[in-house]
A and B are shown apart, each in its own frame.
Chain A
């Protein structure tokens, strides 16, 4: 048995374990040791379930010894944003308030699905309070730090999910994305992230934020791992009313088709990022590599983004109304004030936003009659310094929190599948992501293009120097 190396990919771990070349117990122990060493500096885990993980590792090794095959994720350690229920733990959702909630009595459905294929849950990850965050900062639990520069933001709200994968503490995490919360940390931490189509993956056993916008999905260090996880996460669950029964999509087998035969365009108009040099260079690098020569204006994106903003604000405020009335002082001030604002505006704003959202979807469905995939910026910039409060957009200073996701919001507003791929520009010390967007239910196309970019060496998940 070889000693485990934590930065192995999920596919490599499972392959080695199933061949008897890797001890699941040893690998899990090494993973837990690495987390124990690194977490004090990164602050990405809020709970590590060592006992549970090792117990499961022993079970898996015993099954392998008996000649059984536990599944294609055998021995793969993974962790989840702490809005996923974990049996025996209170589901924090990044909040102090929820710490007094009773422990969950069962795991979230997506945890069950990964474990059904032999994966091993090792812990819960930090996040922005109640997922209303793009920064990774948290007044209760401290900032989750960027693995590339610990003075910088990890991005949010799936901050721990981005950092844990970026620092190679685990090869796979789960996050959630209402307006960009998988894609923003993927961009800032330099990892691959998939926000599937709205309704594709069940949110059963997760703490909500804005139900008509909430998505869940995986983050990983390679496209192959991302696809493998996604393939096992799929499937209807009646516990989530938004979950749609769809045929299973075999994305892993489709990866090697790459971008061949796909009609790809660059997002222009609202997504024109010429004022953001890093984002612009990243998108150009991807488009050059794919031979993309034309851009689309994507009319309606700005209004779609506005609609997402209002819907999130209203639904989030409604969800937390009782807590706002009774425990106002226990909120993170940054989320508190936004939820309060969302409590004050009239229903007509919300209804109009839903109508505009529908119109934006119809506009995009027409666009997808002529193209298969759209390339767009992910974040306007690489990771800002912790504590930054503003971001300059088109020469005007705006609050940072709502605007780091300016380019991600329009797509999640209408539930399109998006894969964020990490790039390093020449001479850059920090990664930045690019969005690969497809029509509803076509995650396979996003992943094929991501795979193509990874194989061309354009997109890559590097190991940060402090994490080697």
Chain B
């Protein structure tokens, strides 16, 4: 499924694909909204292409949990 972005970014009509994705997600998208939803999904696909192109070491980055950075501060305790 990680290649979904490649499929979305390829030439051609995506209407049927988007309808299938919506069905799988359990969401009914009225026909008149499909084009605009498709536009936004293709923007997201470009973003996905960008993050999948970024070098990430799976061993070092195995956790998909964001932890706020904790570094020393110059503040004082109130």
Question: In whole Å, how far is B49's beta carbon from the nearest beta carbon of chain A?
Answer: 8
Q: Mark A264-278, 1 if CB is under 8 A from B, else 0.
A: 000000000000000
Given contacts A341-B41, A344-B41, A346-B4, contact A306 B76 (CB under 8 A): no
Given contacts A345-B41, A399-B43, A441-B73, contact A199 B50 (CB under 8 A): no
Nearest A residue to B49 by beta-carbon distance?
A306
Please, how many angstroms separate the alpha-carbon atoms of A325 and B33 in the complex?
A: 14
| Residue A357 lies at the interface, judged by CB distance under 8 Å to chain B | yes
Q: Are A341 and B44 within 8 A (Cβ)?
A: yes
Residues of B within 8 A of A415 (CB): 68-69
Q: Mark A334-353, 1 if CB is under 8 A from B, else 0.
A: 00111011111110111111
Question: In whole Å, how far is A437's beta carbon from the nearest beta carbon of chain B?
Answer: 14
Q: Is the interface of A mostly helix, strand, loop or mixed?
A: helix
Band of interface residues on B: 35 or more
Given contacts A324-B27, A348-B2, contact A354 B75 (CB under 8 A): no
Please, how many angstroms separate the alpha-carbon atoms of A342 and B65 in the complex?
A: 19
Please, how many angstroms separate the alpha-carbon atoms of A324 and B33 in the complex?
A: 13
Nearest A residue to B65 by beta-carbon distance?
A354
Band of interface residues on A: 35 or more
| Residue B9 lies at the interface, judged by CB distance under 8 Å to chain A | no
Q: Are A248 and B78 within 8 A (Cβ)?
A: yes
Q: Are A340 and B37 within 8 A (Cβ)?
A: yes
Given contacts A235-B78, A310-B44, contact A354 B66 (CB under 8 A): yes
Interface residues of B in 1-55 (CB under 8 A from A): 1-2, 4-5, 18, 21-22, 25-27, 29-30, 33, 36-41, 43-48, 50-55
Q: Are B50 and A247 within 8 A (Cβ)?
A: no
Q: Are B76 and A250 within 8 A (Cβ)?
A: yes
Q: Are B41 and A348 within 8 A (Cβ)?
A: no
Nearest A residue to B52 by beta-carbon distance?
A352
Q: Are A349 and B51 within 8 A (Cβ)?
A: yes
Q: Are B73 and A344 within 8 A (Cβ)?
A: no
Q: Are A300 and B54 within 8 A (Cβ)?
A: yes
Residues of B within 8 A of A350 (CB): 64
Q: Are A440 and B69 within 8 A (Cβ)?
A: yes
Give B residues with C-beta under 8 Å from A.
1-2, 4-5, 18, 21-22, 25-27, 29-30, 33, 36-41, 43-48, 50-56, 61, 64-66, 68-71, 73-78
User: Sorted from nearest, which 8 A-B pairs have the closest CB atoms?
Assistant: A248-B78, A341-B40, A249-B75, A306-B50, A306-B47, A247-B75, A303-B54, A344-B21
A-B contact pairs, 11 of them (CB 8 A): A197-B68, A246-B73, A246-B75, A303-B50, A303-B53, A337-B39, A340-B22, A342-B44, A344-B25, A348-B1, A354-B65
